[in-house]
Structure 1
Amino acid sequence: MPQDHVQVSSGRLPRIWTWLSASAGVLAFTGSVLGILQPAAIYGRETDLLFNAALAQDVVNGLLVSPLLVILAFLARRGSMGSWLSLAGCLGFTAYNYSIYAFSIQFGPLFLVWTAVLGLSVFALAGTLASVVPEAAHLVGRTATGLTGWVLIVTSALFTLLWLNEIFGDLLTGAPSRSASSWNVPTSPVHVLDLAFFLPAVFTSGVLLIRGHVWGHATAVGSLVFLGLTTLPILVTPIISYLRESPAGWGMMMPIGALSIALCVVFIRQLRSTRRQPRSPSMEPVPVHG
């Protein structure tokens, strides 16, 4: 067989995607810390709802997601399949949120930081997914599929219906978008990103997983991570609002909290099934440098 057709694998995240992911994490951590320490200087021109949401996002980014980007990237570089698959979800979450920062927060001192994190996370996500797919081939036929796949499909479908209900309600009454008006932006970036990119991606991941496609196995863990992380700022925002003496909106805590726990349980189950089976010496990949 010609050498061009031999699939060579190192079993590790390539070095370039490791450093892009870690760099995104370090920059995101820096921006989040500055946002937490100086919220008035960063978000002072935003509406109360956007101010509170952005500050909640900084808390989640600074305390959890940014450190995870660095840790998971280097664990994946050392050959941890679970870290590699989870890293894609953290990168997707980072790209998602920094799109909102870059396009919806008024121009200010962290604009270049947000733009850099957005670019780094998008390129790192593309590279991480492209490089993990060949590595995920050994998962086909032996990892959990049914429950995880249906959780991804149902969750993405429910959020799609929720957003469409709000959008069609506003369109039929001729009113401005309620979500956009509450943030004083032209259109809701959450609706745009969810409906155009992320919810279809999660839905497709679930379908492909149930069908046993390698892309389903390569993206299912990351999709669960992405969905789970998106619940956290929703849970933190009422606390921030309460501390700032704004309307807290505690009503979302129960359903979103239940969803967060359910996603965590399914994530742990799916992650356990991704542990590599020992390979025979004849099946070991040829080592290469990432």
Structure 2
Amino acid sequence: MTRRTRLLCASVAVLVVVAAVPTFVVDGILNGPPVMNGSARGTALVMVALALPVLVLGMVTSARGTPLGAAALLGALAYLTYNATLLVYATPFNELFLVYVALLGLSFWALVSALLDPRLPLLADGLPARGIAAFILVVVGLNALAWLRLVVPDLGEDPPGFLAGTGLTTNPIHVQDLAFWLPAMAIVAVLLWQRRPSGVFLAGPGLVFWVIESVGVAVDQWFGHRADPGSDVATTAGVVLFVVLAAATAVPLALWLRTVAGRTRHPGGPPARPAARTPQGSDRP
């Protein structure tokens, strides 16, 4: 890990505490509908209790060139970027607004810096690449269809029905997923299907991101439902769905970790086994 990335990640870790702890524990910070306040509190809890430890683990271990360290670091930063965006755009303006903005900016640039880190590992072959790629593509497709099924019927409606009870004028989850995160994961899956080293590497962080996010959604659904049991925005069915999705995503992540463990190198280290080459050639993450 470069010094630049290390400093950015350390700043992100501090801001997670400064942003998430008051959001979770201080009454009066959140001033939206009860169900959305509950969901935001659940997100804040997962930021501190899960994403922050994974980020710290990644900071400690990625310097050794391990797949676990790099995947933990990038996956946690992706999760924090995603959910800091929700704190900025889905939480009514409050005393922590500038802290939320700082967390969003630093998480994003730390993610960019980590992706540009020259010490990212070059992984060997042996991964069940097409099986994991197929899993990612199925999740991407189902997620996109779920959002389009909500959005398309209400195009032209003011306000659209899917925003009822949220207090939002548009849903930043739909924007992020459809514009950025789902296409990004689809590209990773295609590269993985082709067994390109960049796809083999980025599949790990992507799956870490999805596991943390699935746990996070399950928790925020639980807190939101507790805050307003009559709301359709957060339900017990949503809790169950995302617990199942987290468990399902943990399977390909475990396969990735088992396959690539011990097959990395970084500058100055011992050589790794050559990565698989395809007719399309190979590249580096």
- Which bin holds the TM-score, normalised by the shorter protein? 0.7 to 0.9
In the other structure, the counterpart of 1:3 is none
The RMSD of aligned alpha carbons is 2.3
What's the CA shift string for 1:24-82, capped at 9, x where partnerless? 122112321111111x3211x20122111101101111111122212211211233232
Give the C-alpha shift of residue 262 in structure 1. Answer: 0.8
Shift of the alpha carbon at 1:243?
A: 3.9
SS in 2 for 1:183: coil
Contact kept? 1:143, 1:273, Cα under 8 Å: yes
1:8 maps to which residue?
A: none
Stretches of structure 2 that go unaligned for 5 or more consecutive residues are 272-285
Deviation at 1:175, TM superposition (A): 4.7
Structure 1 residue 124 and structure 2 residue 107: aligned?
A: no
| Structure 1 residues 15 and 262: alpha-carbon distance in aligned structure 2, compared to 1, 3 A threshold | same
Aligned to 1:42: 29
1:31 to 19, 25, 31: 19
Q: Distance in 2 between matches of 1:194 and 1:209?
A: 20
Counterpart AA for 1:37: V
Against the structure 1 CA distance between its residues 244 and 183, is the aligned structure 2 distance closer, same or farther, given a 3 Å change threshold? closer
- Native 8 Å contact 1:52 1:237 kept in 2: yes
CA deviations over 1:125-174 (Å, ceiling 9, x no partner): 11111226x744333x33331221111111011000000010012127x3
**Equivalent residues in 2 for 1:1-290, closer than 5 Å:** 13-38=1-26, 40-43=27-30, 45-131=31-117, 135-139=120-124, 141-171=125-155, 174-244=157-227, 246-247=229-230, 249-277=235-263, 284=270
| CA 1:263–1:37: 2 relative to 1, 3 Å | same
Q: Taking every aligned residue pair, what percent have the same amino acid on both sides?
A: 26
CA contact (8 A) 1:29 1:67 kept: no
Q: Could you tell me which amino acid in structure 1 is paired with residue 28 of structure 2?
A: A
Residues paired across the two proteins, number: 267
Instruction: Please tell me whether the aligned partners of residues 15 and 99 of structure 2 are also in contact (alpha carbons under 8 angstroms).
Output: yes
SS state at 1:182 partner: coil
SS in 2 for 1:108: coil
Whether contact under 8 Å (1:23, 1:120) holds in the other structure is yes
* Aligned-partner Cα distance in 1 for 2:140–2:78: 15
Partner of 1:288: none
The CA distance in 2 between the partners of 1:162 and 1:67, in whole Å, is 31
Query: Are the counterparts in 2 of residues 72 and 83 from structure 1 also a CA contact under 8 Å?
Result: yes
| In 1, Cα distance between equivalents of 2:90 and 2:257 | 34
Match of 1:9 in 2: none
Aligned to 2:280: none
Q: Distance in 2 between matches of 1:261 and 1:209?
A: 21
Name whichever of 268-277 and 220-229 sits farther off: 268-277
**Deviating runs (4+, > 6 A) in structure 1?**
none
CA–CA distance in structure 2, aligned partners of residues 244 and 104 of structure 1: 17
Distance in 1 (CA, whole Å) between partners of 2:90 and 2:139 is: 26
1:121 to partner: Cα distance: 0.9
- TM-score normalised to the size of structure 1? 0.84
What SS does structure 1 have at the residue aligned with 2:159?
A: coil
Deviations along 1:214-234, one digit per CA (max 9) or x if unpaired, are: 221121011111111221232
Q: 2-side partners of 1:19 and 1:267: how far apart?
A: 28
